[in-house]
Amino acid sequence: MHLTDEERRMLAGEEGEAVRLSMQILTRLGDAYGAERLTPVSSVHAGCAYPNMSVAVEMMERFAALGGRFRVLPTVNPVMTPGNFDRFPDCREPEELKKAATRQINAILEMGAIPSWSCTPYMQGNLPRAGECVVWVESSAIVFANSVLGARSNRNTIPVDIAAAIAGRAPEDGLLLDENRAGDALVRLEFMPESMFNYNTLGFIIGKKCAGKIPVIEGLPRWTTANQLKVMGAAAATKGGIALYHAVGITPEALTREQAFRGRTPEFESVIQERDMRAGIEDLNTHKGGRIDAVLVGCPHPSVSEIGELAGLLKGKTIREDTRFCLFASADAIALARQMGFVKIMEDSGVRLFEGGCILTHPIRAWGWKNVATNSGKYACTLPSDPYYLNVLYTDTRGCVEAATAR
């Protein structure tokens, strides 16, 4: 791998042990992937390990103890923050888990992270322009960065993002390179998606049909919103490991089908019709009856308009005492929702707000939940499998409210 003189000095430890260790990680990774050089990165979105992943917690503490300081200030993914400990009397977190979560938060803040605790960093000012190379962790954010913003990120892991934030560089490989961003599968829509629920389901189907590929989607309406693309990408990334898609006429590298494929012929073509959507909803619905223990809304973190829609549906209703209704959202979206009166409506109904949180960082298996409802394609993909094993009622936001309020 070719290194500049400055990078050689960094690797030799002239800028301290944390920089040396970061460079060692990045150059070994680059060698493994055949990268020719490192490239400067302008933005990092860092992951926080689920706090029981003690190796990752220790790794962050080690970087901090070695004097690691971020030269690219990272936003940070949701984590179990102290404000979200023990939110329900019968659903508490073990003391050692809370300690590990707190240790992790302290270490990453000591190195200079922005405490954004959200999976939508592009809504918190971490907004790279088209063509910028970034190191993001969090599959839903990566697919948004690559596809909707036209920025360039690989699917990274936690040590790599921390190392990249300290060194300000990443191996130039994979999706950072032009030649690896061409579409390789064509997906034609023969129906018109309208609701957020449609886009969640569509993402799941695209992920299933095009796992590991770069789909080129034809037929999305030109008024498709960023929020709709957000939920579609999140489900596609979870179901099929999609890190980049092109939507013809909508995303920046796909003004035309030809531009999206960059002269390549699609490996295959797939059509999605209404009936595929119905089958997708059935696939995601693993709830076979029985009381809903919890309703989980806010994956990926919602905009204030999505929160407003939820508040409108909840107004004047009361959540049943035996159902926990959890909303996950960033601090700034909640602050705006509070000013607009949405938070009061939701709290009066009995909703619990998990500011900067995500249910996947909590020990839900130990809480004995069996059935949950969600409007999120990503949660519906994730929660039935290891280590959660939950049955999921996959429904739209109105269905989630009905599941929690029906007597």
Would you give the DSSP letter of residue 83? Answer: G
Q: Which member of 45, 213, 230, 378 binds ligand F3S (CB under 6 A)?
A: 378
**Does position 140 bind ligand F3S by CB under 6 A?**
yes
What residue has token string 């994979």? 174
Of the candidate spans 168-176, 269-277, 298-306, 333-341, the one that interacts with ligand F3S by CB under 6 A turns out to be: 298-306
Q: Which member of 22, 43, 77, 323 binds ligand F3S (CB under 6 A)?
A: 77
Nearer to ligand F3S, 181 or 230 (CB): 230
Site map (CB under 6 A) of ligand F3S, residues 196-215, x = contact = --------------------
Q: What minimum distance in Å lies between the beta carbon of 345 and ligand F3S?
A: 22
Cis-peptide into 302, omega within 30 deg: no
**How many residues at the interface with ligand F3S, by CB under 6 A?**
13
Of the candidate spans 68-76, 160-168, 208-216, 297-305, the one that interacts with ligand F3S by CB under 6 A turns out to be: 297-305
Q: What minimum distance in Å lies between the beta carbon of 191 and ligand F3S?
A: 26
| Interface of this chain with ligand F3S, residues 303 to 362, rule: CB under 6 A | 328, 358, 360
| Interface of this chain with ligand F3S, residues 84 to 123, rule: CB under 6 A | 119
Query: Are 372 and 399 a contacting pair, CB within 8 Å?
Result: no
The bridge status of strand 169-171 relative to strand 185-189 is unpaired
Q: What minimum distance in Å lies between the beta carbon of 137 and ligand F3S?
A: 10
CB atoms within 10 A of CB 46: 29
CA distance 162 to 358: 21
- Nearest one of 386, 396, 401 to 193, comparing CA atoms: 396
Q: Which member of 78, 121, 174, 240 binds ligand F3S (CB under 6 A)?
A: 78
Q: Which member of 300, 302, 377, 384 binds ligand F3S (CB under 6 A)?
A: 300
- List the beta strands (DSSP E) in 132-211: 134-136, 169-171, 185-189
Would you give the DSSP letter of residue 40? Answer: E
Q: What minimum distance in Å lies between the beta carbon of 379 and ligand F3S?
A: 6
CA distance 37 to 320: 57
Q: What minimum distance in Å lies between the beta carbon of 181 and ligand F3S?
A: 23
Q: Which member of 149, 162, 299, 311 binds ligand F3S (CB under 6 A)?
A: 299
**Does position 74 bind ligand F3S by CB under 6 A?**
no
Amino acid letter, residue 184: D
Task: Please say whether the dihedral angle defined by the alpha carbons of residues 19, 22, 24 and 27, taken in this order, is positive or negative.
Answer: negative
**Does position 234 bind ligand F3S by CB under 6 A?**
yes
Q: Please, what is the Cα angle at 305 between 315 and 45, to 5 degrees?
A: 130
Would you give the DSSP letter of residue 147? Answer: I
Nearer to ligand F3S, 140 or 395 (CB): 140
The structure tokens listed for 394 are: 């996959």
Would you give the DSSP letter of residue 145? Answer: I
Q: Which residues bind ligand F3S (CB under 6 A)?
A: 77-78, 119, 138, 140, 234, 299-301, 328, 358, 360, 378
